[in-house]
Each structure stands twice: as C-alpha cells, then as structure tokens.
Chains A and B, each alone.
Chain A
Amino acid sequence: MAIKALNGLGWYAAGLIVAPGCYLVSSMVAAERTHVEAVERAIATARKDIRQLETEFDTRANLAQLERWNGEVMRYTAPTPHQFLASDSALTSLRALETEGVAERYAAMVVPEGVPDAVAEAAQTASAAAAVPAVAEKVAANKVVAGKVAAAVVVKTAPAAVASKPQLTAAVAPKPAKPAVKTQREEAVAMLDRSLLKDSSFGDLMKGVRAEARRAR
C-alpha cells in the first residue's frame, strides 16, 4: 500500500527531473537556430555590402573612365596581327625586334589623334620600306656609324623623321634596342610612366595606408 503510494511519488519525481531536461534541449535547439539565423543574416548583409561595393567600383571605374586613362595617359593601342602567333613554333621563331617597326604602322590608338587613317599610313610605310636600302645607304655615308645598325634604326622610323632629325638617329644608334626616334609627347608619357611606377611609389602607398589605419584606430 505504502509502496503503491510511493510509486506515484516516483513518477512525479521522474517527471520533475525529465521535464526540465526536455525543456533545456528544446531551448538549446532554439538558441542554436537563432544563432544560425543570425549568421545567415550576417552573410546576407555581407553579400549585400559586396554587391554595393562592386556596383560602386564598377561605376567609378566605368569603361568611359578606363578609356580615358588607356588612351590619354597610357596611350595604349589595339593589338596588331603580328602580336598573334599561331603556334609554339611561331613563338620560338619570333624575332620581336624585326617586327617592331612593322607593328607600329597599324597601331590604332585607343583615343584617335591626328590622322586616324591607319591604312594610308600603312601604304606610306610600305613604299618607304621599299626605299629603305637607299635611304640607309645615304645615312650611313653621311654619318660615321656602323652601317648595319643604322639600317636597322632607319627601318624602325618614318623616313620623314629621319630626314628632319638625322643627328638624333645618330645619337640613338649605339642603343638600338630602344625605339629610335620618339616624339616629344611620347617621351613625356614615358616619363609619366616612370613617375607612376617609381620604385619608391609602392613604399609611399603603404606608408599612406599605415597612416590611415593609425588614424582610424
């Protein structure tokens, strides 16, 4: 009788112990779920931020802006047929210096300037190329430079330029690896490149970044 009464109490005690346990589990699951949700939400917010930043980047670096830099500052040109090689063997037989002058005649500046008529230029260069040996001989005779080097330099320059600036040709002749005659503007751009890509530029940049980080802290 007494045992029977205690039996009921036992059930009661068991319920008293198990129920909070069950509740604890379910509440932990709920907490975990909320946590996961918060992470998901953070991910979504980060994605949204990324999207926003991407959009801002695209807007600031839009193609009109890039073209201005490419054309006016970097003076890029469209690739010419000689820059495309069909196979590995073509690559090995490539003699870059020979084709340099040829490549220039087609150069289509990204932002056109002066005469955009590449084809007319090409025709002119072609006739010039035919006349090259004669011109080269003349230059070699007039100037006391090694004949072969002079010929190579002449090929790379427009004949008109050679006629107007023969002394420059002679000056450049000892260093034939560089493009022979540069216009003033080209030189200015080359200088600009140098100032942009100075060895110390990167260090300066990093210094700026560090300073900014310090200020932010």
Chain B
Amino acid sequence: MAVAHVRLMILALLFAAAVSVIVGRLVLLALFAEPAAATSVNAMLVPLRGDLVDRNGAPLARTIDAWSIGVRPDKVIGDKSELARLLAATLPGKSATDYAKLLNSDSRFTYLQRRAVPELVAAVHALGEPGIEFAREPQRLYPQANLGAHVLGYLDFDGKGVTGMELALNRQLTDPAMRGKPVALSIDLRAQAALESELGAAMTSFTAKGAAGIILDVASGEVVAMASLPTFNPNNIKGSNPEHFRNNMTQSVYELGSTFKPLTMAFAIESGVASSMAKRYDATAPLQVGGFRIRDDHAQKRWLNIPETLVHSSNIATARIADELGKDRMESMFRKLGFDTRPDIELGGKAAPLWPKYWARTTVMTTAYGHGIAVTPLHLASAYAAMVNGGVWRPATLRRIEPGKAPQGRRVVSEATSARMRQLLRLVVTHGTGSKADAPGYRVGGKTGTAEVPGAGGYKRNQNVSTFAAAFPMDAPRYVVLVMLDSPVGNAQTHGFSTAGWTAAPVVNRVIMRTGAMLGVVPDETRDVDVADVTPLLWKAEPKNKAKGAAAATPIVAPGADE
C-alpha cells in the first residue's frame, strides 16, 4: 500500500514537472520572444544588396526578385529527348542535343535560365514537366546595361562584388544596417551616356582599337563620367569578352605625349624659370642630346616664346625649358601630381605608372613632353584639374560629394600660375593644334597629345595614342574632359590624319556641346578668358575659328521686319 502511494506520488510529481516546464516556456515566449511579423514587413522593403544610384538619384544597379528556371534531371518523368527538343524551342541558346545531354547527366540540379522574363517562365511552365522548377531569386540588375559598366563592375555567382564600385562598396552595400539606403555615385548618367556614345562613334569612324574618356569636376575631384571602350554588359557576364573588362582609364598606362607640355610649362612658370611669357627658346633645329635627337612635328624653325611653344607644340623648346628646370624640380613636381603612385580612386586593379628608374638629362627632357614616363589617363585628368582650378590637386572619387565638402587637397602650383595656364590652354584651342575642340560658347581650353605606341623594337610609327585633355569654361573652370583614342586610323574626314587634333579634339568638342549645359555650364559667346596680354606674343598666328560671333554680327533682316 505504502509502495503504491509512493509510486503514485512520484508519477504526480513527474506530471507536475512536465506541466511546469511547458508553462514556464510559454511564459518566456510570451514575455521575451520577438513577434515574427513585425520585422518581416520592414525586411520586405530592404533589398539584399543596396542600390547604386547616380548623382541625381537615377538607378544604376538594383537587386530585384527575378525568376529563375532550373531542372532536376532525376525527377523528370516525361520522355527526356522530347523534353530536350521542346526546351530548345522555348529556350534558344542551346541545341536539343545540349539539353538532352544535360537531362541525362547525373547532376541533381542545373539552372536552365537565370533572370528569366515572366513570359518565358509561363512558356516553360506550359511544358508541364514536374522536374522543372521555378524560383524567385534576388538578382543584380543594371538597368542601363553597358552604360558605365567599368565604373559599376559586376557581381560573382554568390552576389559578391568582383570589380568596380560593386567591389569597392561591397561591405556597405551588404551591411544590413546600411543597405536600405541607396549609395549615390558621382556619375551623372546623362553625361556618361553622351560620353560613351561619342567615344563609340569616334571609335567606329576611326576604326580605333579602343577609346577612353573622363569628365572630372575640377573643384571636388568627382568623376562625372568615365568610360572605356570596348565595354561589356554586366547583366550578361558570361557572354562578355574578358578582355573588355579592362578599364583603360585606370588600369592601363600610356605615354601621353604632348599633353604633358602644359604641366612642364606650369612648373617653369611656378619655379620662375619662365620669368616672362616673352622668354624665347631656340627651336631652329632638332636638339641632339647624347644619342637622342628631339625634333618637332610642326617645325617652326625659329625661336619660340612660351605661348608659341604650346600653340605650336614644340618638343625642342619644351625640352630646353625642362633642361633649365633640372632634374630635381621636374621630379618633385611630377611627384606632387602623384605621377609616381597608382591613381587615387576607389576602383580596384589600378595600374602603377612607369616611373623612370634613373633621371638622366635626356629623361628630364623627354618626360617634359610626355615620353619616357607612362601614367594612366586618370593621372593626367587630375593633374589638369589642379592646373586650372587654382592650383590644388585633389584625389579623384566616384562617391558623390555634398557641395562644400570637397577634400582639402594639396597645393601644386600657385593661383597666379593657374590663371596663366588657363590663358595658355585657351590659346592652344583658339590659335593652335586644338582648334577642333572649340565648342562654341563653352570657352574650351586644352592640349593635344599624339604619342606613338611603344612596341617591340622601339616606337611604332603608324600607331599612336591620340589624347585631348581639355577644361571648360576657361574663365572659371568647372570640368576637365579627357578623351583618348587608341590607334585611330585617319579617314577622309580627317584627310588621313590620325593625330589628336583631328581625332580626339572633335570628340571633346561634341562631348562638351552635348553635356556642358546639362552639367550647369551656360554657353555664352560673349564671355571668354582674357588673353589680351599673351596674344601679341604669337607671331603670325590667327584665331583658327573666326566664326565666333562673326556671323551673328552680320546684320540679318528678318522677313517682314519693316513691312
């Protein structure tokens, strides 16, 4: 009896313990558990990876829920060869034999199509095969396809950034706390489209191997547009040529030729070597230094002063100026412009410049006109920005900078030197080799550069890199525009010339005409930088584009004006 009681007691205690455990758990859940629904409503709106937008908020990259179609070969119940035939008909891209091979393989799951449009999903669904599965998966979509592909980059299969800003911003874009807010890049989509379209047109018409261009804000270092052609479609990485992934603006170095001359000139003015604009240098005959012979492409065979040296793009006079500047000053100025380090920008895989190992006298002379030193076009664009913006170098950036929050930068040349450079660069366009870049009303200034491509056994005479580095408007510079064509071939329109003045300069002209107003520069033919103090120094030089204002000044009688 007593034993039975004890047993009953133990049983009752066990039941009591079980009930109290359940009640305790319920209390815990009621008090402390997070309601499941509350987070999911917010989570619905937060994309798995943050958006990328341009400086005006237009989307550049978005994560969307896309349909994907996959197949489990072991679960297919119908006739596999028949299914393969039907698949080949609905999903072109692979042949029926390919599909048959895929269906008979022993893989457990294979994608048939990722990022399928709903119509396609419906069509495949109509095949009625239970082995085919449909799912909605988050996928990265670049609405503008090829546009700005090198800036944006792309993702790998797991959704991690591989190149471009997708890689640079990977952490921020995937951080749960920050991915809800789109990241604004400095790119202006409209300017980017115009730049790419013009570069593409030029590349076709000059059958160039490649083309690259950039529009850079001189005051903040923001890259408003950056393009490198040929390009790729980040929506379809598998179908792209891997060679086109190279961004020639930051990943390739070039000897940029005469576009370096204004830099040398600025160094000379800054250091006091070019004490006066009228100081003249002997360019009567080619210059022999050691085993090296420096000659001019547009030989003037006379003494040239500072503006003339630039306007006629004289290698000889520039080399003489550099010789007077000397090794130390040239080297330190190039270092100040960051030409000895990789370019400053968020992108990965940046190329290291080819910096001379030893600065011989010839090195000093040749680097002055852009030979014997190779930098990325971005280096040059940043340097030009510093030349014209009042003398302050700032790193280039692809992140949007709020107005007034531009980095401090470092002073490279003085305000006065910068003012002088604006005059000189404008003169090159009005009176010199850059006349074809003179977009009416935009007061363009810049310099041509045609450098031969180095290859095995010296420079290749028939291939060149044509560059035009420009800034506008020269009376108060806002943007640097740099255009580079790789190995252009002259055509009938250029009378067979493939030099920068004929190939790259017109591209700059059209890019500025199409984007200038969008970027907030009002074209005005009545304004210009005052060059009155330097024009008298140009001997026998007439403005190339006399059209400016001439036609407007001619009295034109409107029909019926005095009726």
Which residues of chain A have a CB within 8 Å of any CB of chain B? 37, 40-41, 44-45, 47-48, 51-52, 54-55, 58-59, 62-64, 67, 78-82, 84, 86, 95, 97-99, 101-102, 105-106, 108, 110-112, 115-120, 122-123, 125-126, 129-130, 132, 148-149, 151-153, 155, 176-177
Q: Is the interface of A mostly helix, strand, loop or mixed?
A: helix
**What CA separation (Å) do A116 and B201 show in the bound complex?**
10
What are the residues of chain B within 8 A of A122 when measuring CB–CB? 440, 545, 547, 551
**What CA separation (Å) do A80 and B441 show in the bound complex?**
8
When A55-B62, A55-B141 are in contact, do A115 and B493 touch as well, CB less than 8 Å?
Answer: yes
Quick check: A118 and B64 within 8 Å, CB to CB?
Answer: no
What are the residues of chain B within 8 A of A118 when measuring CB–CB? 440, 509-510, 513
What are the residues of chain A within 8 A of B556 when measuring CB–CB? 98, 101-102, 152, 155
State how many angstroms separate the Cβ of B89 from the closest Cβ of chain A: 26
State how many angstroms separate the Cβ of B446 from the closest Cβ of chain A: 14
Sampled A-B contacts (8; CB under 8 Å): A47-B45, A58-B143, A64-B193, A105-B551, A122-B547, A130-B554, A148-B557, A149-B560
What are the residues of chain B within 8 A of A155 when measuring CB–CB? 556
Quick check: A102 and B524 within 8 Å, CB to CB?
Answer: no
Tally of A-B Cβ pairs under 8 angstroms: 147
Task: Say yes or no for B37: interface residue by CB 8 A criterion.
Answer: yes
Stretch at the interface among B23-31, B93-101, B144-152, B358-366: B144-152
**What CA separation (Å) do A81 and B546 show in the bound complex?**
16
When A55-B64, A84-B522 are in contact, do A78 and B193 touch as well, CB less than 8 Å?
Answer: no
The residue on A at minimum CB distance from B493 is A115
State how many angstroms separate the Cβ of B347 from the closest Cβ of chain A: 22
Task: Say yes or no for B197: interface residue by CB 8 A criterion.
Answer: yes
Quick check: B146 and A64 within 8 Å, CB to CB?
Answer: yes
Contact of B189 among A63, A86, A119, A129 (CB under 8 A): A63
Which residues of chain B have a CB within 8 Å of any CB of chain A? 37, 41-42, 44-45, 58-59, 62, 64-65, 141, 143-147, 189-190, 193, 197-198, 201, 205, 435-436, 438, 440-441, 493, 506, 509-510, 513-514, 517, 522-525, 545-547, 550-552, 554, 556-560
What are the residues of chain A within 8 A of B513 when measuring CB–CB? 78, 106, 108, 118
**What CA separation (Å) do A48 and B138 show in the bound complex?**
13
Quick check: B551 and A129 within 8 Å, CB to CB?
Answer: yes
Quick check: B141 and A59 within 8 Å, CB to CB?
Answer: yes
**What CA separation (Å) do A62 and B436 show in the bound complex?**
31
The residue on A at minimum CB distance from B141 is A55
What are the residues of chain A within 8 A of B546 when measuring CB–CB? 123, 126
State how many angstroms separate the Cβ of A138 from the closest Cβ of chain B: 17
The residue on A at minimum CB distance from B43 is A44
Contact of B59 among A37, A58, A99 (CB under 8 A): A58
Quick check: A119 and B554 within 8 Å, CB to CB?
Answer: no
User: Closest 4 A-B residue pairs measured CB to CB?
Assistant: A81-B441, A176-B559, A122-B547, A126-B547
What are the residues of chain A within 8 A of B58 when measuring CB–CB? 58
State how many angstroms separate the Cβ of A119 from the closest Cβ of chain B: 5
Instruction: Name, among A45, A117, A130, A132, the residue most crowded by chain B CB atoms within 10 Å (CB to CB).
Output: A117
Quick check: B41 and A152 within 8 Å, CB to CB?
Answer: no
**What CA separation (Å) do A118 and B545 show in the bound complex?**
11
Quick check: B559 and A44 within 8 Å, CB to CB?
Answer: no
What are the residues of chain B within 8 A of A44 when measuring CB–CB? 41-42, 44-45
Quick check: B523 and A81 within 8 Å, CB to CB?
Answer: yes
Contact of B523 among A48, A84, A152, A176 (CB under 8 A): A84
Contact of B550 among A45, A55, A129 (CB under 8 A): A129
Quick check: B547 and A52 within 8 Å, CB to CB?
Answer: no
**What CA separation (Å) do A89 and B552 show in the bound complex?**
18
When A108-B514, A116-B201, A117-B436 are in contact, do A126 and B550 touch as well, CB less than 8 Å?
Answer: yes
